[in-house]
Amino acid sequence: MRHFLTHVAWAALLLTACHTHHDSGLTWKRAIADRQQALSSEHESPQCNVHIDICYADTANNREAATEINTAIAWQLLDIEGADLQQAADSFANRYADDYRRNLLPLYREDQSDSEKRPWYEYRYVIDTSTEAGRDGVEVYRANVDYYEGGAHGINQLLTMNFDTQTGRLLQLRDVFVPGYEQQLNELLLDELLRQTDSKDKDELKKKGYLYSMNMFAPENFILGADAVTFVYNTYEIAPYSVGRTELTLDYDKLEKILKQQ
């Protein structure tokens, strides 16, 4: 419970994080949903805590673009179709808490006598979001997702989206880079990973835990910033949990040959 309250306190600090950028034509509102669910009726039962704090586009301005953006946010973060983000946030929080009790209570009954297993049943799911201006014509959307669903540790992820401010379209790598960009972009990312980790080659990277069982790739999880593109690799994507999240930033100058013209 203490860990969850820490996240709620942090979310309170982010209440101004849905920034409005007047030159984008978009304004932002917030959808907040909280749900606590005790696993059993016993005193000091394990419980599930859900906190959803989502920025969404105000449909009063550029309705079509805002609806497109909100539909993508609901689908990407909440796995829900539809553009009413408050209803989507409420639905997600309620569904998650209800599933927690229905699915975990029978297992908890079996483990109830083992005090060491009790912490496994203290679930949480927290989403905090923010927006910022990216490159010209782009709004960057960040979602910090933190959850614990039993096991040795929780998971923290940064999920990003880049929206065309005129149309609301969610931009993919193919919208940013020219056809056939993959090989050159992967080489640039590998060079940056080598530099960032102070490694001389792939073998040294593997010794440090990177790219042990996969090749370098460009994720769709990226940030189109004002001066550079940042590629976000969450835990386990190119390195083990102990390494944590990796972010590789490439200036637009380095990407000039494979960037589409704005």
58-75 confidence digits (pLDDT tens): 998 889 999 999 999 999
Note whether residue 184 is domain-resident: yes
pLDDT digits (tens, 9 = 90+) for 206-258: 999 999 889 999 999 999 999 999 999 999 999 999 899 999 999 999 999 99
pLDDT digits (tens, 9 = 90+) for 247-256: 999 999 999 9
**Residue type for position 226:** A
Note whether residue 10 is domain-resident: yes
Q: What are phi and psi of 231, to 5 degrees?
A: -100, 125
User: ∠ at Cα 251 (129, 256), nearest 5°?
Assistant: 120
Using the structure block, give the residue that is written with the tokens 């080598």. 194
Sheet architecture: strand order including 138-148:
28-38, 47-57, 124-133, 138-148, 155-164
Using the structure block, give the residue that is written with the tokens 């390494």. 243
Contact in structure between 225 and 141 (CB atoms under 8 Å) = no
Please check whether residues 59 and 81 belong to one and the same domain. yes
What's the domain range around 249? 174-255
Mean per-residue pLDDT, 141-157: 95
SS3 125: strand
The residue among 131, 155, 171 that closes a domain is: 171
Residue 7 scores a pLDDT above 90:
no
Direct distance between the N- and C-terminal alpha carbons of the chain, in angstroms, rounded to an integer:
48
Helices (H), ranges, 22-61:
none
pLDDT digits (tens, 9 = 90+) for 72-83: 999 999 999 976
CATH of the domain at 158: 3.30.565.40
Mean pLDDT of the chain: 91
The Cα 85–Cα 90 span in angstroms is 8
**Would you give the DSSP letter of residue 34?**
E
Please check whether residues 162 and 180 belong to one and the same domain. no
